């Protein structure tokens, strides 16, 4: 193990070297019938089959060893204990506190955070129940039927994934829409058919300064004022905020009583179980269903913390990702849920994985000598089969696949008879077939009908998609990404890579404002390529 003074890079560990040498001599053979029993994880709520990965028992042992040598256990415990593992920002990483249903104290700077967590949850409960019961209404006294959540990135993708996954549980007559993009198309198309009297806006921004969100919030304010008038109570009744910036929230016109807080130890992409998801989801699904989401996430949290690595649903897939990325060079992963309800899981996972682990320096600021975060993409099955699967089956690059399936359907449809299968059964014929096609391939005398096989995949099987399992999958996604970051020795909890673009964007806004003020286009300091584009945009004319 590394000395305390100079932590060892994972690339220097014994396990890393033994994986390198294992890879050189490994001849994949996935035909051994014992693999299914050797390479699976059984738990109460999910079954994980990884027998189709390019592994043998030696590789799995080396991966577990890698986790141990990189200090994974201590790092996980440090996270759960509220240590400031987000070192660049000096913050704890405690999304697990948001669903710490036992209420056991978690200390940050010597202070238990749980009372505040509980207080915000209670506030969400009270508020959402008042809205749902019709005790809290719009300015004209009408019940709220439309919830419009304005937020972007972490204030959008996680809640949207959960809302979509839990749509069968929506309260009757309640709609929830998300406005994220600053492109006016997003706001207009999402509000065009809404009755303002029945519409509640939730403005979600930690700092209340996120450019896109504040632009959309201002537009929402004008939209409602155009329809209902300028009485200050209109904003107070029709707007709430999820934020930590009380003054800015008040200045916007929102009653600070209707501000739901969170904390610097909740990162954006890990905030779906905070008020960021809690407020919109409790209004849309009812507070009880939001609590089910928390319960599912909490189950995965406890599993992650307490289960040995070789039976750990979050750690083991992360180790397989590392094997695929660092030892096989497979740097893109397909996420293939056989469930329309998970249609937004890939977009959310993209943020969690690619923002967390798209890093090129380690936690000490040293340039890494090995690859980190993979690209994640995906569409629900069977849709993807009729699109990009061709490349996965017969392309020149190998894309490890994560299949996710469910025993029960969200909406049973069709007949299960001697001659007929249900929609869900038909769906699952594909879930069964695709991994086999990838693993075993098929030889054909016509070359274009050859399938090489040996294309790695895993399958995660759950009972059904409901608020509990949606929460479980959320935490699964979070912990899988964090595990990789812990092993790679990077900070998975900051995102400085988005800052430069933001800063340059602000300068472009200043140029546009100067153009409004002076009629002159200032391109000084811009490179000619950007200068040509800016000219085209301001003169509203393509370059000639």
CA–CA separation, 169 vs 198, rounded Å?
21
Give CA angle at 419 (415, 421), nearest 5°.
Answer: 40
Active-site position among 160, 292, 355, 478: 355
Residues forming beta bridges with residue 240, ordered by sequence position:
202
Residues 33-52, interacting with a second copy (CB under 8 A)? 33-37, 40, 42, 44-47, 49, 51-52
Active-site position among 20, 118, 442, 502: 502
Residues 417-456, interacting with a second copy (CB under 8 A)? 417-437, 439-442, 446-452
Which of 419, 422, 418, 421 minimizes the C-alpha distance to 410?
422
Residue 419 to residues 382, 407, 428, Cα–Cα distance (Å) = 22, 21, 17
| Residue 141 CB, nearest approach to a second copy (Å) | 25
Residue carrying the six token digits 């028992």? 57
CA–CA separation, 104 vs 197, rounded Å?
42
- Among this protein's residues, is 502 annotated catalytic? yes
Which of 315, 316, 353, 319 minimizes the C-alpha distance to 334?
353
DSSP 254-304: --GGGEE---TTS-GGG-TTSHHHHHHHHHHH-HHHHHHHHHHHHHHHHHH
| Residue 126 CB, nearest approach to a second copy (Å) | 30
CA–CA separation, 125 vs 111, rounded Å?
24
Query: Which two three-digit tokens encode residue 52?
Result: 């189709």
Binds a second copy (CB under 8 A): choice among 115, 229, 256, 497: 497
| Residue 73 CB, nearest approach to a second copy (Å) | 25
- Among this protein's residues, is 23 annotated catalytic? no
Residues 238-257, interacting with a second copy (CB under 8 A)? none
**Other C-beta atoms within 10 Å of 325: how many?**
22
State which residue, 113 or 214, has the beta carbon closest to a second copy. Answer: 214
Binds a second copy (CB under 8 A): choice among 10, 152, 276, 285: 152
Residues forming beta bridges with residue 86, ordered by sequence position:
91
State which residue, 43 or 137, has the beta carbon closest to a second copy. Answer: 43
Query: Which two three-digit tokens encode residue 420?
Result: 């007929």
State which residue, 6 or 540, has the beta carbon closest to a second copy. Answer: 540
Which of 434, 329, 315, 332 minimizes the C-alpha distance to 377?
332
Residues 80-99, interacting with a second copy (CB under 8 A)? 88
CA–CA separation, 8 vs 445, rounded Å?
51
Write the burial class of residue 109 (CB in 10 Å: 0-12 exposed, 13-18 middle, 19+ buried). Answer: exposed
With contact defined as beta carbons under 8 Å apart, do 225 and 202 qualify?
Answer: no
400 binds a second copy (CB under 8 A): no
- Among this protein's residues, is 355 annotated catalytic? yes
| Residue 85 CB, nearest approach to a second copy (Å) | 14
Q: With CB under 8 A, what is the number of residues at the site for a second copy?
A: 167
x/- binding map, residues 7-36, to a second copy, per CB under 8 A? ------------------------x-xxxx
| Residue 516 CB, nearest approach to a second copy (Å) | 5
Binds a second copy (CB under 8 A): choice among 1, 107, 251, 513: 513
CA–CA separation, 241 vs 105, rounded Å?
27
CA–CA separation, 412 vs 407, rounded Å?
11
With contact defined as beta carbons under 8 Å apart, do 341 and 410 qualify?
Answer: yes
x/- binding map, residues 335-364, to a second copy, per CB under 8 A? ---xxxx-----x--xx--xx-xxxxx---
- For residues 447, 449, 450, 455, the Cα torsion angle rounded to the nearest 10 degrees is 140
State which residue, 140 or 390, has the beta carbon closest to a second copy. Answer: 390
State which residue, 119 or 188, has the beta carbon closest to a second copy. Answer: 188
x/- binding map, residues 302-331, to a second copy, per CB under 8 A? -----------------------------x
268 binds a second copy (CB under 8 A): yes
State which residue, 110 or 543, has the beta carbon closest to a second copy. Answer: 543
| Residue 504 CB, nearest approach to a second copy (Å) | 4
Piece in contact with a second copy (CB under 8 A), picked from 64-72, 99-107, 243-251, 400-408: 400-408
Binds a second copy (CB under 8 A): choice among 56, 69, 212, 466: 212
State which residue, 119 or 375, has the beta carbon closest to a second copy. Answer: 375
1 binds a second copy (CB under 8 A): no
State which residue, 257 or 544, has the beta carbon closest to a second copy. Answer: 544
DSSP letter at 166?
T
Binds a second copy (CB under 8 A): choice among 377, 454, 521, 522: 377
State which residue, 128 or 405, has the beta carbon closest to a second copy. Answer: 405
CA–CA separation, 461 vs 191, rounded Å?
37
| Residue 106 CB, nearest approach to a second copy (Å) | 26
| Residue 154 CB, nearest approach to a second copy (Å) | 7
Alpha helices in 26-91 (DSSP H): 35-38, 57-69, 72-80
With contact defined as beta carbons under 8 Å apart, do 486 and 75 qualify?
Answer: yes
Active-site position among 135, 366, 386, 449: 386
Helix (H/G/I), strand (E/B), else coil: 112: strand
Q: Among all residues, which ones are annotated catalytic?
A: 355, 386, 502
């Amino acid at each position: 193990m590394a000395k305390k003074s100079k932590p060892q890079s994972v690339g220097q560990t014994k396990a890393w070297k033994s994986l390198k040498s294992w890879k050189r001599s490994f001849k994949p053979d996935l035909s051994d019938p014992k693999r299914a029993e050797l390479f699976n994880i059984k738990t109460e709520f999910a079954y994980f089959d990884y027998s189709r990965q390019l592994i043998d028992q030696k590789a799995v042992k080396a991966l577990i060893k890698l986790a141990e040598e990189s200090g994974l256990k201590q790092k996980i415990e440090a996270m759960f204990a509220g240590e400031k593992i987000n070192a660049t920002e000096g913050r704890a990483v405690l999304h697990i506190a948001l669903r710490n249903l036992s209420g056991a104290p978690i200390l940050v700077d010597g202070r238990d955070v749980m009372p505040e967590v509980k207080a915000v949850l209670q506030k969400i409960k009270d508020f959402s129940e008042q809205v749902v019961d019709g005790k809290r209404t719009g300015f004209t006294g009408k019940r709220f039927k439309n919830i419009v959540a304005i937020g972007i990135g972490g204030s959008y993708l996680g809640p949207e994934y959960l809302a979509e996954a839990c749509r069968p549980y929506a309260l009757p007559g309640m709609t929830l829409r998300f406005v994220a993009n600053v492109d006016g198309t997003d706001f207009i198309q999402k509000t065009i058919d809404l009755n303002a009297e029945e519409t509640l806006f939730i403005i979600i921004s930690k700092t209340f300064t996120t450019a896109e969100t504040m632009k959309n919030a201002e537009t929402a304010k004008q939209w409602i004022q155009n329809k209902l008038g300028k009485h200050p109570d209109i904003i107070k009744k029709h707007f709430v905020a999820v934020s930590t910036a009380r003054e800015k929230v008040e200045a916007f016109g929102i009653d600070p009583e209707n501000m739901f807080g969170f904390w610097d130890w909740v990162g954006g992409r890990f905030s779906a179980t905070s008020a960021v998801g809690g407020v919109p989801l409790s209004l849309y699904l009812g507070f009880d269903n939001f609590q089910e989401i928390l319960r599912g996430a909490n189950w995965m949290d406890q599993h992650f913390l307490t289960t040995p690595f070789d039976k750990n649903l979050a750690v083991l897939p992360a180790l397989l990702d590392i094997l695929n990325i660092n030892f096989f060079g497979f740097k893109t992963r397909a996420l293939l849920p056989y469930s329309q309800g998970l249609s937004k899981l890939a977009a959310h996972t993209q943020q969690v994985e690619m923002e967390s682990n798209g890093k090129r320096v380690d936690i000490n600021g040293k340039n890494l000598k090995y690859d980190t975060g993979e690209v994640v993409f995906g569409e629900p099955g069977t849709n993807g089969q009729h699109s990009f699967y061709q490349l996965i089956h017969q392309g020149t690059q190998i894309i490890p696949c994560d299949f996710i399936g469910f025993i029960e359907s969200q909406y049973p449809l069709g007949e299960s008879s001697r001659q007929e299968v249900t929609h869900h059964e038909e769906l699952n014929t594909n879930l069964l077939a695709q991994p086999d096609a990838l693993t075993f391939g098929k030889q054909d005398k016509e070359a274009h009908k050859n399938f090489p096989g040996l294309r790695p995949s895993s399958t995660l099987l759950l009972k059904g998609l409901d608020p509990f399992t949606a929460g479980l999958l959320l935490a699964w996604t979070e912990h899988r990404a964090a595990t990789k970051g812990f092993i790679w020795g990077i900070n998975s909890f900051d995102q400085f890579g988005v800052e430069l673009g933001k800063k340059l964007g602000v300068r472009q806004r200043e140029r546009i404002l100067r153009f409004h003020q002076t009629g002159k286009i200032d391109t000084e300091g811009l490179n000619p390529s950007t200068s040509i584009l800016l000219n085209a945009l301001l003169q509203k004319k393509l370059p000639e």
